[in-house]
């Protein structure tokens, strides 16, 4: 999945429109975009949308961002939406694998209660929204078979740090947020799950978005979160492997399959080794 679009869970109109956004995954939000007084209404609206949208042909994946585990609201969120069978959940302010394991246990109970397939509900964790969470980015490995990806976010982190801004005058992330970004990439690689880049808040600046997408893909991120439907096409185009890349990856894999005992193979006059094989396999898993 290349693009993850946030959609407020309390807006039936925006939820309906999001189905045609082109996003690979929708994040139906019960957290930051919903006022405390509107939480229950948002749960009801989101659950109704899930029930209707699950049968739509060619639909995006449907993930629900629940409230973080410290709020005491997660059980109410799960009780409201799990019966409708979301494809996954987004866990905000996750502090390492322990929080993922905690949420996974809560989900397993509800899958059984609502006769859903065991393990069907995946989890995407946002792992950098507090200073404490930064120190736990190396702890996601083995937390749960449900873990599908780790994302990073700089807005909540800047609030937790008391920072005036998270970008400099050029629009580039400052050092604390570049560190969070790098550690997210390392943590996701260690856990063998997708690394998902943060949102680009200047949603009308599509050239700036494209630049940030290219840099993220260059470094190893495979997807990016979006806050506006207009951002989706740029994200999808940037993170989609080209036909040439796909063909090259398949050629590398084919060459190693024909020489299973070799650590190095020759393709088009170039020597290719195991790291190239791993990169090719990872690229094809994104299709």
Average of per-residue pLDDT across 97-108? 98
pLDDT of residue 135: 98
At 270, the pLDDT band (50, 70, 90 cuts) reads confident
pLDDT of residue 256: 92
Average of per-residue pLDDT across 199-203? 95
- The pair of structure tokens assigned to 257 is 């399959």
pLDDT of residue 31: 97
Q: Are residues 187 and 258 in the same domain?
A: no
Q: Are residues 206 and 271 in the same domain?
A: no
Q: Are residues 81 and 143 in the same domain?
A: yes
Contact partners, residue 160, CB within 8 Å, separation at least 6: 129, 130, 131
Provide Rg for the chain, Cα atoms.
Answer: 20
pLDDT of residue 172: 93
* In the block, residue with structure tokens 């390492």: 96
* Dihedral over Cα of 33, 36, 37, 40: its sign: positive
Distances (CA, A) of 102 to 45, 63, 141, 219: 26, 18, 14, 30
Structural domain range at position 130: 3-240
> In this predicted structure, which of 65-69, 148-152, 189-193, 274-278 has the lowest mean pLDDT?
274-278
Q: Which long-range contacts does 103-110 make (Cβ < 8 Å, 24+ apart)?
A: 103/66, 103/69, 103/74, 104/143, 104/144, 104/146, 106/74, 106/75, 106/78, 107/78, 107/82, 107/146, 110/78, 110/79, 110/82, 110/83
CA 153, chain centre distance (Å):
11
269 or 29, which is more confident: 29
Contact partners, residue 248, CB within 8 Å, separation at least 6: 280
What is the per-residue pLDDT across 110-137, written as a single tens digit (0 to 9) for each? 999 999 999 999 999 999 999 999 999 9
Assess whether pLDDT exceeds 80 at residue 286: no
CA 199, chain centre distance (Å):
11
The domain tally of the chain equals 2
Domain containing 13 — which CATH number? 3.20.20.60
Q: Are residues 68 and 86 in the same domain?
A: yes
Q: Are residues 189 and 112 in the same domain?
A: yes
Measured CA to CA, the distance from residue 272 to residue 265 in angstroms comes to 5
- The pair of structure tokens assigned to 238 is 């940037």
Q: Are residues 148 and 258 in the same domain?
A: no
Q: Are residues 158 and 16 in the same domain?
A: yes
What is the per-residue pLDDT across 209-251, written as a single tens digit (0 to 9) for each? 999 999 999 999 999 999 999 999 999 999 998 888 899 999 9
* Dihedral over Cα of 249, 253, 258, 260: its sign: positive
Q: Are residues 159 and 254 in the same domain?
A: no
What is the per-residue pLDDT across 183-200, written as a single tens digit (0 to 9) for each? 999 999 999 999 999 999
What is the per-residue pLDDT across 6-63, written as a single tens digit (0 to 9) for each? 999 999 999 999 999 999 999 999 999 999 999 999 999 999 999 999 999 999 999 9
Average of per-residue pLDDT across 151-179? 95
pLDDT of residue 107: 98
* In the block, residue with structure tokens 């084919």: 254
Measured CA to CA, the distance from residue 127 to residue 68 in angstroms comes to 11
Q: Are residues 257 and 191 in the same domain?
A: no
Mean residue pLDDT of the chain comes to 95
Q: Are residues 73 and 133 in the same domain?
A: yes
Q: Which long-range contacts does 170-178 make (Cβ < 8 Å, 24+ apart)?
A: 171/202, 171/208
Render 17-29 in DSSP notation, one character per residue.
HHTTS--SEEEEE
User: How would you label 101-114 residue by residue, b for 16+ Cβ within 10 Å and e otherwise?
Assistant: bbbbebbbebbeee
Assess whether pLDDT exceeds 90 at residue 64: yes
Q: Are residues 278 and 180 in the same domain?
A: no
pLDDT of residue 42: 98
Q: Among 172, 205, 96, 194, which residue's Cα sits nearest to residue 140?
A: 96
Q: Are residues 61 and 33 in the same domain?
A: yes
pLDDT of residue 261: 84
């Amino acid at each position: 999945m290349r693009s993850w679009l946030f959609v407020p869970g309390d807006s039936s109109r925006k939820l309906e429109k999001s189905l045609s956004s082109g996003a690979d995954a929708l994040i139906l939000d019960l957290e930051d975009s919903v006022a405390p007084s509107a939480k229950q209404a948002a749960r009801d609206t989101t659950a109704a949308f899930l029930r209707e949208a699950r049968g739509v042909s060619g639909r995006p994946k449907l993930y629900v961002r629940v409230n973080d585990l410290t709020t005491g609201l997660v059980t109410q969120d799960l009780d409201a939406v799990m019966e409708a069978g979301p494809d996954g959940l987004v866990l905000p302010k996750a502090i390492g694998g322990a929080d993922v394991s905690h949420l996974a246990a809560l989900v397993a109970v509800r899958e059984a209660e609502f006769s859903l397939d065991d393990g069907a509900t995946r989890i995407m964790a946002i792992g950098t929204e507090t200073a404490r969470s930064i120190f736990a980015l190396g702890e996601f490995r083995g937390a749960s078979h449900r873990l599908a990806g780790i994302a990073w976010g700089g807005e909540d982190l800047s609030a937790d740090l008391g920072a005036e801004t998270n970008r400099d005058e050029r629009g580039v992330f400052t050092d604390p947020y570049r560190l969070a970004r790098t550690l997210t990439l390392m943590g996701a690689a260690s856990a063998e799950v997708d690394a998902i880049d943060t949102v680009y808040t200047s949603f009308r600046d599509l050239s700036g978005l494209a630049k940030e997408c290219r840099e993220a893909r260059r470094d190893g991120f495979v997807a990016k979160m979006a806050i506006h439907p207009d951002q989706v096409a740029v994200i999808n185009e940037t993170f989609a492997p080209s036909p040439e890349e796909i063909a090259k990856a398949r050629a590398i894999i084919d060459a190693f399959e024909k020489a299973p005992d070799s650590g190095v193979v020759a393709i088009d006059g170039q020597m290719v080794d195991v790291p190239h094989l791993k990169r090719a396999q990872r690229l094809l898993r994104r299709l």
